[in-house]
Every structure is written in structure tokens, then in C-alpha cells.
A = this chain, B = another copy of it.
């Protein structure tokens, strides 16, 4: 059984990530938190994001830029990374779980996650061109 204690820092990190749709990195979150909480350390941010990911409260994302992004929404869904503005967008689909099952059927083993990550140029960036 996974142990846990309440800590102010953990709740601050929760508070800063909750409700966001911009999928910040640990570093970004850290810098933002630092303004109000100058004693917060980077290691604590990493440790807690990892912890929250492990207990399934949030999810970690590999979007293709080599940096781990965090999504307060742990539900499986696709993501779109804009190579120009470097933003990450949620991509919701009606039959995501069916597609996941479809993929899992083609795997020789037990699948426990299925990440779909798209890359390209977002509408806003191709318009401002």
C-alpha cells in the first residue's frame, strides 16, 4: 500500500496544475509557483508530479519535444503538439477507448497504456503566417 502524508507543497502543486489545459512542464510549474512560494524546490515539484502520476490523479505526457508535460486530466485522450508555438492541445474523440482496444488486440502482451500524440502546426500558427 502506497503511503502518503499531506504536505503543503503537494497541495500547492495540485492547486497550480488543477483545471489547466496548457499541459505545463515541471520547470514551468516550478517557475510559476516560485513567485508565490519562493521556498518551493524543483526536486519537490518533480517528486510530487511523479507521485500524482503514480497514483493516477494526473497524467504525464511525452509529446515529442523531449520534455515531460503534465495533464491534470488523467483520462486517456490524444494530444496535439504544435511545433511552431510549442503548445500542447487536448484531442478528444468519441471512440478513443474503442481505438485503444483495437490497438491492444494487435499486441502480443498486456497493454496498460495507449498514448496517441499528434504533431503539426496549429490553426492559429498557420493563420498568423
Shortest distance from the beta carbon of A81 to any chain B beta carbon, whole Å = 9
Copies of the protein in its oligomer: 2
Chain A interface SS verdict (over half): strand
Shortest distance from the beta carbon of A94 to any chain B beta carbon, whole Å = 9
CB contact list, A62-99 vs B, under 8 A: 62, 64, 66, 68, 78, 80, 82, 89, 91-93, 99
Whether A107 lies near B93 (C-beta < 8 A) is: no
Q: Is A36 engaged at the interface, CB distance under 8 Å to the other chain? A: no
Total residues of chain A contacting the partner, CB 8 A: 36
Whether A107 lies near B80 (C-beta < 8 A) is: yes
Q: Which of B68, B91, B114 contacts A118 (CB 8 A)?
A: B114
0/1 string, A88-129, CB within 8 A of B gives 1: 010111000001001110111111111111111111111000
Whether A120 lies near B116 (C-beta < 8 A) is: no
Whether A113 lies near B109 (C-beta < 8 A) is: no
